[in-house]
Structure 1
């Protein structure tokens, strides 16, 4: 059980790095090229990274073969909760620091919330 969870977390983390890359690049384009406000940019970029995460974690990390609407609803619920946490933490850290610190801190919290939610709620076997 522990080995399986560690393997899943490793896979989840690698996919997460890719998803954060999508999040980060999108955030920069939206914020600094398109001049969209930082918090809105973060919300949009988070959604783009999340879509990548769902598709890859479903098939690779949790090996889910289900094609159920219920699974998608659970995923959306977990990510909606994570988005709210991400947004609040990002917004708060913008008031006390600058640069990429708010992005990094918000992302770290999201990683933990999402892994636990995906393992125990979305892709629970």
Structure 2
């Protein structure tokens, strides 16, 4: 009787980058710099989409934040896997990142909502829209907490996996 292979989930889409050889032997300082640069780009994607969905498209604030978080963290994962940590694709690693992002998603959306409701109302004019200063402060604090959690767990656990 012939043996058939079990069906498996496809790997997540990858950026078509040809870079240095894979491996996690990138030094800590290089990883931190690359992680920060990736984080800044991903935060711009996240915050920009957040404002567009919330202020332009009329989404509920927390729904807009949830959607922007997903897009921003997906951007970060794809770049960090290839560039920051130089890791090969792995289903186990991808599942671990999904679990990590679920945790940081809850932390980030929760911190964002809490600070938006508790910080005093001061207005800024951003691109012709009045935005509460609390929105920017809440975003930065929530992003900062998620960034620290993500770097520590990705460096110490996820990108050490084989």
> Same fold by TM (over 0.5)?
yes
Q: How far off its partner does 1:121 sit?
A: 2.1
1:103 & 1:39 partners in 2: Cα distance? 12
Unaligned runs of 5+ in 2: 1-25, 120-133
The Cα of 1:38 is off from its aligned counterpart by 1.1
The structure where strand makes up a greater share of residues is 2
Report the alpha carbon displacement of residue 31 of structure 1 after superposing the two structures with TM: 0.4
1:124 is aligned to 2:156: no
The reply to whether residue 19 of structure 1 matches residue 42 of structure 2 is yes
Residue 6 of structure 1: CA displacement?
A: 2.1
> Is residue 104 from structure 1 mapped to residue 140 from structure 2 by the alignment?
yes
The yes-or-no answer on 1:75 pairing with 2:111 is no
- For residue 35 of structure 1, give the secondary structure of its aligned residue in structure 2: coil
Rounded to whole Å, the distance in 1 between the matches of 2:92 and 2:155 is 15
Deviation for aligned residue 1:120: 1.7
Q: Secondary structure at the match of 1:100?
A: helix
Larger radius of gyration: 2
1:38 matched residue in structure 2: 61
CA displacement at 1:63 relative to structure 2: 0.2
In structure 1, the gaps of 5 or more residues are none
Deviation >4 Å, runs of 4+: none
TM value normalised by structure 2: 0.72
Between 10-19 and 114-123, report the one with greater CA deviation.
114-123
Higher helix fraction (1 or 2): 1
